[in-house]
Amino acid sequence: MVDQCSFCEKPREPHSEYCGLHKVALANLEAQYANWLMAFGGELSKDEYFSKLMSLRETGDAVKRLITRNQQNTVPR
């Protein structure tokens, strides 16, 4: 369906590609990168950030799904 979330079968939020849950998860994921970067003195790549989040049990399942999809879509370097 056209108005489905890019990550699940739920309907999209208005003016967004994602459902409510994934929209919030993505916003959190993007917003927290700045905090992680500061915590590690500016030395943390996005890949490292994602892989650390994937290894933590505190990370939400919706966030992990976003990261997994992101990693699958990335062309291996």
Residues making contact with another protein (CB under 8 A): 9-11, 20-22, 24-25, 28-29, 31-32, 35-36, 38-41, 53, 56, 58-63
- CA of 54: how far to CAs of 8, 35, 72, in Å? 19, 17, 14
Least separation in angstroms between residue 22's CB and another protein is 8
Half-sphere exposure in the Cβ direction for 13 (13 Å, CA):
9
Least separation in angstroms between residue 70's CB and another protein is 14
The nearer residue to another protein, 40 or 74, going by C-beta atoms, is 40
Which residue matches tokens 């943390």?
Answer: 44
